[in-house]
């Protein structure tokens, strides 16, 4: 027994010595890391994140731009501020020597032209950096058909109304509208008299932007129910009042839906079968579907809580209602009640936009790798409200100015 203990003691001492030696080698490394982690951040420069332009240093950038902050001891940074606006940080994009961050899209109330880095110990480090405000971004209108003297709503971003240089809205014909109210993302403006068709222009202190959409868009109108009518078994039930039309007559889709997949085709459908309408053989529009959108004005009079508005493009020679349930025909949907709390209703007319790139669904809502076949399956058009009905509803939807135009 004593011999065994005598044998083990040198081994134990050797193990202790090695442990101490290894600890001595490791601990200085940990000390170095700790001292690096605890150092104050240092910003050397800011550059763009494009790898092809990694040597492009910047001292200012537009709101919404993603930049790389280069320096030392940046791993401790918990907050980055541009002027008085706090940026969102992703810790996966923070290292000792770099931070990748997107400049906030909010307009600063106090402009310091500085970037502020804040550590977990509330150490603040400032670095000169300016934030540029872009020209207005004009995205859409609540309704593209608004009568003279009535209020149009323009949506987008960076709508800034400066007391010295007020924001302006110019309608086609270079006619200035009366701006009634402005927020960062919305403009309410009175439509002037004698406005024509075309883009609108929004001007601010920071520049001007022309819309890609047209006001009172008359390009490639397929159905206006005044001069261009539906054709087929159900061309649509038209009227011009109760409610008042947006531009003459419109089609009224009215019918009771009590359960899932109620088939109320006579009242909740209208068609433009190209052959029956005497339209030339071929597609109803020219252009790459990926770059086109279907638009129409709609007025949802009653609360809508069931049934999808199915937008079905089909071959020119369509002459029966089998297209409604044809699982091979890719179609688009308008089903706003699903994302608005289960019920949807409009306060007057609105413009609905559905990209043709989103015409990828079967009648039951499944995608199944469907895609719009152009030009073969684009010679006729059907609108049909049909689908799930989680809550029974008396559908009353008015539709006008159906068109397919560039996005």
Query: Is pLDDT at 27 greater than 70 in this prediction?
Result: no
Architecture of the domain delimited by 137-210: Sandwich (2.60)
Beta bridge partners of 352: 296
CATH assignment of 221-406, among 2.60.120.260, 3.40.50.1370, 3.40.50.2300, 1.10.730.10: 2.60.120.260
Q: How far apart are CA 184 and CA 109, in angstroms?
A: 13
pLDDT at position 34 is 39
pLDDT at residue number 30: 40
DSSP 371-403: ---TTTT-SEEEEEEES--SS-EEEEEEEEEEE
- pLDDT score, position 107: 85
387 and 261 Cβ atoms separated by less than 8 Å: yes
Contact 286, 327 (CB under 8 A): no
Q: Is 112 left (phi over 0), alpha (psi -120 to 50) or beta?
A: alpha
Quote the distance between the C-alpha of residue 73 and its chain's center: 37
Question: How big is the chain by its Cα radius of gyration, in Å?
Answer: 31
pLDDT of residue 56: 83
**What pLDDT does residue 4 have?**
37
Confirm if 352 and 297 have CB atoms less than 8 A apart.
Answer: yes
Q: Cβ(395)–Cβ(302) under 8 Å?
A: yes
CA-CA-CA-CA torsion for 354, 355, 356, 357, nearest 10 degrees? -130
Q: Where are the domains of the chain?
A: 42-132, 137-210, 221-406
pLDDT in tens, 298-333: 999 999 999 999 999 999 988 788 999 999 999 999
**CATH of region 42-132:** 2.60.40.10
393 pLDDT more than 70? yes
Q: Extract the tokens encoding 237.
A: 């039930």
**Between residues 134 and 29, the one the model is more confident about:** 134
Asked if 43 and 70 count as a contact pair (C-beta separation under 8 A), the reply is yes
C-alpha to C-alpha distance for 170 and 178, rounded to whole angstroms: 9
The per-residue pLDDT for range 235-271, each reduced to its tens digit, is: 999 999 999 999 999 999 999 999 999 999 999 999 9
Distance CA 136, CA 206 (A): 7
Q: Which tens digits make up the pLDDT trace of 64-99?
A: 999 999 999 999 999 999 999 999 999 999 999 999
54 vs 228, residue with greater confidence: 228
State how far the Cα of 353 lies from the Cα of 330, in Å rounded to an integer.
17
229, 273 in Cβ contact below 8 A?
Answer: no
Percentage of the chain exceeding pLDDT 70: 90
Asked if domains 42-132 and 137-210 share a fold, the reply is: yes
Q: What is the pLDDT of residue 54?
A: 65
Work out the end-to-end distance of the chain between its first and last CA atoms, rounded to an integer number of angstroms.
91
pLDDT in the model for residue 39: 86
* DSSP state, residue 227: S
What is the pLDDT averaged over residues 355-380? 95
């Amino acid at each position: 027994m004593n011999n065994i203990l005598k044998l083990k003691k040198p081994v134990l001492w050797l193990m202790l010595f090695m442990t101490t030696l290894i600890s001595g080698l490791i601990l200085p490394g940990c000390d170095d890391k700790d001292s690096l982690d605890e150092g104050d951040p240092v910003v050397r420069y800011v550059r763009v994140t494009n790898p092809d332009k990694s040597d492009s240093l910047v001292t200012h950038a537009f709101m919404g731009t993603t930049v790389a902050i280069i320096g030392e001891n940046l791993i401790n940074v918990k907050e980055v501020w541009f002027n008085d606006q706090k940026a969102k940080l992703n810790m996966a994009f923070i290292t000792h020597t770099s931070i990748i961050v997107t400049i906030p899209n909010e307009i600063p109330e106090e402009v310091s032209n500085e970037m502020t880095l804040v550590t977990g110990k509330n150490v603040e480090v400032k670095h000169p950096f300016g934030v540029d405000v872009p020209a207005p971004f004009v995205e859409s209108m609540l309704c593209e058909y608004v009568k003279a003297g009535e209020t149009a709503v323009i949506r987008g971003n960076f709508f800034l109304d400066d007391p010295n240089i007020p924001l302006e809205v110019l309608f086609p014909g270079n006619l200035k509208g009366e701006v009634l109210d402005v927020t960062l993302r919305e403009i309410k403006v009175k439509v002037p008299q004698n406005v024509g068709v075309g883009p609108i222009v929004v001007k601010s202190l920071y520049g001007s932007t022309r819309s890609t959409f047209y006001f009172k868009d008359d390009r490639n109108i397929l159905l206006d129910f005044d001069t261009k009518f539906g054709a087929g078994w159900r061309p649509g039930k038209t009227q011009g009042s109760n409610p008042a039309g947006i531009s003459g007559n419109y089609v009224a889709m009215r019918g009771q839906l009590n359960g899932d997949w109620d088939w109320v085709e006579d009242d909740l459908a209208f068609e433009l079968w190209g052959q029956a309408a005497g339209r030339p053989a071929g597609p109803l529009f020219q252009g790459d579907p990926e770059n086109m959108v279907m638009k129409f004005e709609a007025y949802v009079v009653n609360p809508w809580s069931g049934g999808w508005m199915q937008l079905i493009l089909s071959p020119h020679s369509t002459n029966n209602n089998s297209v409604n349930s044809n699982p091979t025909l890719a179609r688009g949907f308008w089903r706003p009640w699903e994302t608005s709390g289960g019920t949807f209703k409009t306060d007057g007319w609105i413009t609905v936009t559905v990209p043709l790139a989103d015409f990828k669904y079967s009648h039951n809502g499944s995608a199944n790798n469907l895609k719009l076949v152009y030009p073969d399956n684009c010679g006729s058009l059907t609108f049909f409200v049909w689908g799930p009905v989680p809550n029974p509803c008396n559908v009353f939807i008015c539709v006008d100015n159906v068109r397919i135009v560039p996005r």
